[in-house]
Amino acid sequence: MKTKRERTIYLEDTPREEALEQCFRMVNFHDTTEIVTTEKSVGRITAEPIYAHSSNPHFHASAMDGIAVRSRDTEEAHETNPLRLTEHDDFVYVDTGNLIPHGFDAVIMIEDVNEVKTGVLEIIAPALPWQRIRPIGEDITSGEMLLAQGHKIRPIDAGALLASTVKNVKVKRKPKVHIYPSGSELVPPNQPLQPGKLIEFNGTIFSELVKEWGGEPDLKPIVKDDPEKIREALETGVAEADVVIINAGSSAGSKDYTAHIIQELGEVITHGIATRPGKPVIIGKINETIVIGVPGYPVSAYFVMDWFVKPIIHRFLNIPLPQKDTLTVHAGRRIVSSMGSEDFIRVHIGYVDGKYIANPLTRSASVTMSLVKSDGVITIPAGQLGIEQGEKVEAELMKPRSEIQASILFSGSHDLSIDVLSSEMKKTDLLSKVTASHTGSMAGLLAIKRQETHVAGIHLLDPETNQYNLSYIKKFLLGMDLVLLPFLKRQQGMIVPRGNPLGLKVITDIAHTQAHYVNRQKGAGTRILFDHLLKQNGILPQEINGYEREMFTHLSVAAEVKMDEKAVGMGIYSAAKAMELDFVPIEEESYDLLMTKDFFMGTQGQLLLDTLKSEEFKRNVEQLGGYKVDETVTPLYV
């Protein structure tokens, strides 16, 4: 007899669109309605055509401030024959929107009359019949169709309904979506964190997405990894909701019970789709309620919500899915993919030299910030091995075009000061931002050469001259009109756990103590510096325990060190300080910004320079620790 941990779950590779169609075919989407007040109707979907109950205006109304007159009484008025009118007998004062008294058929603007004395006015031009009078029904006529069926009511629509005395409207009932986070490792937000515990935040994301798409979310308490608790949650959910989402428990792990329980209570329609991320989704049905098992990793979860929950809500409301904005982009570097699954690549996008350049962000399904920072998503079809550098592809946008157009694309070495730079630039230009891809100094240098970035952050040590950056620029970018901005000096050294438990003092100690080294990626300036120091001290890379373990940012190195008492990594002081770690200084290095002369002379380049020179920016960077910003930031034309 198998225990509850000895389970066999087979994940399929169903194409994503086919999985959605299977769901649509097997579920009866109820078309139910409800009555809401017009004041509460914004964002709702009309269930039937809505007709005006009254005209607007429903009386003859003055269109201007002035006097109401009988047009026939003014026919003799002329510049050479001014005509005098007496209040009450010949005219009455009216304001905009006032009822035109019976017998009057024209309005003369107040600025076109001359007061002779109290109660007597003079005019020098005749009034035409019905001039400056709003007729009955000028805006809305009683019985007119105001909104068609299936219309999403906007604020201006609600105003028109109220203007025509429509007090209540029949709308599509919002589909009820119950959301059950699951996992014994999860704790609610705002609780103290303990090792092994994770904050449950997917539920909040799901709730807000469901609201945005027109559903009615109900976020439930966390369900522990207990099959009976999961069963109880599902039974309660399907009795009350149109859609039940259970987050996590959809893969093939030893505590992923969801698929079995759905199958026992109802039917599993699909378990596993041919996508990366998002593969282990479950789509099922219990009675007539749709049940979606959403993967736990936040990136997978976001895409599954977008691919399945969003169209399901739209199907309940019987409205079309909105068209996503797309943009033709050029791949900033080669993107590798595997056959058999659609690959969804989050990218930074920048407008460089007349074309949009897209650089991939991390592809891990667990990295929430890859969605936060993403400007768009590139889809690599299941039958394609990848995208070549420079290849044109379509990207679905996650940010407005205007924001992408105004962003400065930054490649090269990672530094914490770049986030400060982006924030400070926004104070001057709200659309401006720095979109950074942490590719390493050499990759940034080559991106400048290929005209695939605006700015590259570099700190490349020449071992022969012991100087930074210039020799590399002359070697690899000869013939280009470039500007190098001397930016800052920063402390490079060993990032170690608090108290420096291994007592590391010099680079050779890393090899002698067999510390667990956390390296940077090939081409990173920090990697080049570390390799130079190893060679200088006669140490081979294979003597370093963990030399092959690579991270792409200083903060990533620091985070790894924080979790291991025997770890060490080369990095900058500000990263050690940010992670509350100790730091053993090794070398002061130059971190500079490289760009083309054309970019530097343009609006964005000058905004960048002005920001670098500002005292507030310098002060904020130096507060990070381990930095000294160049006093003058004098451009060097190379």
pLDDT tens, residue by residue, 488-535: 999 999 999 999 999 999 999 999 999 999 999 998 899 999 999 999
State the pLDDT confidence band at 252, using cuts at 50, 70 and 90. Answer: low
3 state DSSP class of 233:
helix
The CATH number, out of the four listed (3.30.230.10, 3.40.190.290, 2.60.40.420, 3.40.50.300), of the domain defined by the range 441-637: 3.40.190.290
pLDDT for the residue 234: 96
On the question of pLDDT at 65 being above 60, the answer is yes
| Close Cβ partners of 310 (under 8 Å, ≥ 6 residues apart) | 209, 213, 321
Q: What percent of the chain has pLDDT over 90?
A: 84
Report yes or no: 515 and 565 within 8 Å, Cβ to Cβ: no
DSSP string, 361-421: ----TT-THHHHS-SEEEEEPTT--EE-TT-EEEEEESS-HHHHHHEEEEEES--THHHHH
CATH of domain 33-57+138-172: 3.90.105.10
Mean pLDDT of 307-320: 96
State the Cα–Cα distance between residues 286 and 302, nearest whole angstrom. Answer: 23
State the pLDDT confidence band at 249, using cuts at 50, 70 and 90. Answer: low
Report yes or no: 393 and 335 within 8 Å, Cβ to Cβ: no
State the Cα–Cα distance between residues 126 and 71, nearest whole angstrom. Answer: 7
Which tokens hold the place of 551? 């991270």
| Portions of the chain given CATH number 2.40.340.10 | 328-399
Which tokens hold the place of 416? 């914490």
Report yes or no: 74 and 163 within 8 Å, Cβ to Cβ: no
Place of tokens 């009822």: 99
| Furthest C-alpha separation in the chain | 112
> Residue 423's beta-bridge partner residues?
none
pLDDT digits (tens, 9 = 90+) for 351-380: 998 999 999 988 887 788 899 999 999 999
Burial label, 581 (beta-carbon count in 10 A; 0-12, 13-18, 19+): buried
Total H helices, total E strands in the chain: 19, 40
State the Cα–Cα distance between residues 328 and 193, nearest whole angstrom. Answer: 43
Eight-class DSSP state of 609? H
3 state DSSP class of 608:
helix
On the question of pLDDT at 390 being above 70, the answer is yes
Angle at 100 between CA 96 and CA 105, to 5 degrees: 110
State the Cα–Cα distance between residues 526 and 493, nearest whole angstrom. Answer: 9
On the question of pLDDT at 3 being above 50, the answer is no
| Portions of the chain given CATH number 3.40.190.290 | 441-637
| Portions of the chain given CATH number 2.170.190.11 | 61-134
State the pLDDT confidence band at 256, using cuts at 50, 70 and 90. Answer: low
| Residue 277 preceded by cis peptide, ω within 30 | yes
On the question of pLDDT at 255 being above 60, the answer is no
On the question of pLDDT at 397 being above 60, the answer is yes
CATH of domain 61-134: 2.170.190.11
Report yes or no: 387 and 334 within 8 Å, Cβ to Cβ: yes
* Topology at the third CATH level for domain 328-399: Beta-clip (2.40.340)
Q: Report phi then psi at 150, rounded to 5.
A: 80, 20
Neighbours of 244 (CB within 10 A): 28
pLDDT digits (tens, 9 = 90+) for 144-191: 999 999 999 999 999 999 999 999 999 999 999 999 999 999 999 988
> Residue 169's beta-bridge partner residues?
36
| Portions of the chain given CATH number 3.90.105.10 | 33-57+138-172
**Among 180, 182, 146, which residue's Cα sits nearest to residue 164?**
146
Which tokens hold the place of 151? 């219309």
Helix or strand run (H / E) with residue 561: helix 554-562
Q: Where are the beta strands (DSSP E) in 71-214?
A: 83-86, 91-94, 106-109, 114-117, 120-123, 133-134, 145-147, 168-172, 176-181, 186-187, 198-199
State the Cα–Cα distance between residues 633 and 486, nearest whole angstrom. Answer: 6
State the pLDDT confidence band at 254, using cuts at 50, 70 and 90. Answer: very low
On the question of pLDDT at 600 being above 80, the answer is yes
pLDDT for the residue 8: 41
State the Cα–Cα distance between residues 149 and 216, nearest whole angstrom. Answer: 21
* Topology at the third CATH level for domain 16-30+174-317: Molybdenum Cofactor Biosythetic Enzyme; Chain A (3.40.980)
State the Cα–Cα distance between residues 553 and 366, nearest whole angstrom. Answer: 17
pLDDT digits (tens, 9 = 90+) for 222-232: 999 899 999 99
pLDDT for the residue 7: 44
- The one-letter amino acid at 296: G
Which tokens hold the place of 384? 């394609």
pLDDT for the residue 591: 93
pLDDT digits (tens, 9 = 90+) for 18-39: 999 999 998 888 889 999 999 9
Residue 422's alpha-carbon distances to 175, 349, 352, in angstroms, are 41, 15, 18
Mean pLDDT of 456-468: 91
Mean pLDDT of 473-492: 94
State the Cα–Cα distance between residues 241 and 530, nearest whole angstrom. Answer: 58
Mean pLDDT of 57-71: 97
**Among 358, 411, 399, 402, which residue's Cα sits nearest to residue 380?**
358
State the Cα–Cα distance between residues 50 and 581, nearest whole angstrom. Answer: 65
Angle at 441 between CA 439 and CA 444, to 5 degrees: 65
State the Cα–Cα distance between residues 206 and 208, nearest whole angstrom. Answer: 6
Place of tokens 């343009």: 602
Q: What percent of the chain has pLDDT over 70?
A: 97
pLDDT for the residue 5: 41
Report yes or no: 586 and 494 within 8 Å, Cβ to Cβ: yes
Mean pLDDT score of the chain: 93
Which tokens hold the place of 170? 């029949």
On the question of pLDDT at 216 being above 60, the answer is yes
| Portions of the chain given CATH number 3.40.980.10 | 16-30+174-317
pLDDT for the residue 251: 60
DSSP string, 13-79: -B-HHHHHHHHHHHS-----EEEEEGGG-TT-BBSS-EE-SS-BSSS-EESSSEEEE-GGGGTT-BT
State the Cα–Cα distance between residues 50 and 161, nearest whole angstrom. Answer: 8
Place of tokens 């009675």: 287
On the question of pLDDT at 539 being above 50, the answer is yes
On the question of pLDDT at 4 being above 60, the answer is no
Q: Could you tell me how far CA 147 lies from the centroid of its own chain?
A: 32
pLDDT for the residue 1: 35
